[in-house]
C-alpha cells in the first residue's frame, strides 16, 4: 500500500504593527532635503549630531536598508543589502547609531556587487557584537555564483559572495528559493516572470559543476550567458490595517512581477507601499510609462523609488502619480503603521 503525501500547507505570511525603513546606503544624500509630508508614511531625515560634526553621511551607487519592525511589543531588526563598499555602509551605520547587537538577520536581495560589496567588511567589523545565531538569507544557491560584466569577448569578474567568510564568522547561510518567514518579514522566493517586463541587469554568469536542473544547455556548456537573476527575491511585510509593503531592492525581474509575486505569496491584495530600486534607470520612456500604468492598477498608497529607479521614472511619477510619490535620501527613515 502506497502512503499518500500530505499536501503542503499554504505559506502563512506574518503580520506586524509597524515598520521603520532607514536608508543606510543609496545613490543620493542631501543635508537639506525638501520637506515631504504624506498621510500614509512618516518621513524623518537625519540631522547632524554634536559629537559627529566632523564627519558626514556618504552615498554611493548601491543600496542598504535597516529594517525595524514591531509586533505586539516585540521588535525585530534586519539589514537588507550592504552597498558597494564596506567603507560607506560602516561609516553610515555608525553615524546613524544602529546597534549591531540588535540585528536579527542579514538579507541579500540578489548577488550584484552594488548590493553585497560591503558585506565582508561589514561582517568583519560588526560580527562580534551581533547575536550568535545570525543568519544570512539569499534567494537561492545561484546567489553564490560568480558574476561577470563587460563584453562577452573580454569579460571581467564582478566578484562572488564569500560564503567561506560567512562560515568563518559563524553566519549561517539560508537559501530561500521559496517563500520564507524571517521574523516579522517574509521573502517571496523565486519571482515568476509573467508581466510584459523583461529581465534587466547587465551581468553574466557561467554555470559551475552543480547539477541545478534549471540551468540551460548554454550554461551547462560553460558559456557566459545573460544573468536572469533566479536568485532575486523581495523582502516584504504585512502591516495590520494598512496592507502589504514590498521592498524590491533592485527589481531586475520587474517592479510589476515582483509586486504581484509578493501579493500572490501573502494572499494580500491591498498594496500599501513599494520601496527600493526598480531598475528603470536605463529603460525606454515607453517602458516606464507602461510600468506606471500597471502600477496604477495595483493602487499602492506610497511609492518610494531608490537606487536604480532612475530620474525618468521619478519625473513620470511626478506627472502621473504625484500623490503617491515619496523620494529617498541617505539617512531618511520611513515609518509605516502605528
Task: Render pLDDT for 16-61 as a digit per residue (tens, 0 to 9).
Answer: 999 999 999 999 999 999 999 999 999 999 988 778 889 999 999 9
Q: What is the pLDDT of residue 213?
A: 42
> How far is 316 from 292, CA to CA, in rounded Å?
8
Residue 214 has pLDDT above 70, yes or no: no
Task: Render pLDDT for 280-310 as a digit per residue (tens, 0 to 9).
Answer: 999 999 999 999 999 999 999 999 999 999 9
Q: Where does residue 56 fall: left (phi above 0), alpha (psi -120 to 50 degrees), or beta otherwise?
A: beta
Rounded to two decimals, what is the model's pTM?
Answer: 0.92
> How far is 323 from 325, CA to CA, in rounded Å?
6
> Domains of the chain, with CATH numbers?
15-34+55-337 (3.60.15.10)
> How far is 113 from 86, CA to CA, in rounded Å?
11
Q: What is the pLDDT of residue 334?
A: 99
Cβ contacts of 41 within 8 Å, gap of 6 or more = 273, 301, 302, 304, 326, 334, 335, 336
CA dihedral 108, 114, 117, 123 (to 10 degrees): -40
DSSP classification of residue 217: H
Amino acid at each position: 500500500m502506497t502512503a499518500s503525501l500530505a499536501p503542503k500547507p499554504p505559506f502563512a505570511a506574518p503580520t506586524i504593527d509597524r515598520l521603520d525603513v532607514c536608508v543606510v546606503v543609496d545613490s543620493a544624500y542631501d543635508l537639506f532635503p525638501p520637506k515631504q509630508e504624506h498621510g500614509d508614511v512618516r518621513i524623518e531625515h537625519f540631522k547632524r549630531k554634536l559629537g559627529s560634526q566632523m564627519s558626514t553621511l556618504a552615498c554611493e551607487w548601491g543600496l542598504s536598508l535597516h529594517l525595524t519592525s514591531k509586533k505586539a511589543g516585540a521588535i525585530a531588526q534586519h539589514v537588507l543589502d550592504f552597498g558597494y563598499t564596506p567603507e560607506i555602509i560602516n561609516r553610515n551605520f555608525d553615524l546613524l547609531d544602529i546597534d549591531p547587537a540588535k540585528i536579527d538577520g542579514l538579507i541579500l536581495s540578489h548577488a550584484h556587487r552594488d548590493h553585497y560589496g560591503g558585506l565582508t567588511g561589514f561582517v568583519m567589523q560588526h560580527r562580534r557584537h551581533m547575536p550568535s545565531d545570525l543568519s544570512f538569507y539569499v534567494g537561492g544557491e545561484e546567489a553564490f555564483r560568480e558574476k561577470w560584466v563587460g563584453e562577452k569577448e573580454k569579460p571581467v569578474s564582478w566578484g562572488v559572495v564569500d560564503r567561506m567568510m560567512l562560515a568563518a564568522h559563524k553566519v549561517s547561510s539560508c537559501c530561500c528559493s521559496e517563500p520564507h518567514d524571517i521574523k516579522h518579514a517574509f521573502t517571496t522566493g523565486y519571482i515568476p516572470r509573467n508581466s510584459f517586463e523583461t529581465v534587466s541587469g547587465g551581468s553574466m554568469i557561467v554555470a559551475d559543476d552543480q547539477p541545478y536542473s534549471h540551468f540551460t544547455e548554454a550554461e551547462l556548456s560553460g558559456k557566459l550567458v545573460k544573468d536572469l537573476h533566479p536568485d532575486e527575491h523581495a523582502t516584504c511585510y504585512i502591516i495590520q490595517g494598512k496592507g502589504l509593503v514590498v521592498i524590491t531592492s533592485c527589481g531586475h525581474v520587474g517592479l510589476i512581477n515582483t509586486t504581484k509575486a509578493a501579493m500572490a505569496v501573502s494572499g494580500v491584495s491591498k498594496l500599501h507601499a513599494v520601496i527600493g530600486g526598480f531598475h528603470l534607470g536605463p529603460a525606454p520612456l515607453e517602458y516606464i510609462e507602461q510600468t506606471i500604468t500597471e502600477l496604477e492598477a495595483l493602487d499602492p498608497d506610497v511609492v518610494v523609488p531608490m537606487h536604480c529607479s532612475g530620474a525618468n521614472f521619478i519625473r513620470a511619477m511626478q506627472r502621473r502619480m504625484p500623490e503617491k510619490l515619496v523620494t529617498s535620501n541617505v539617512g531618511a527613515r520611513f515609518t509605516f503603521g502605528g
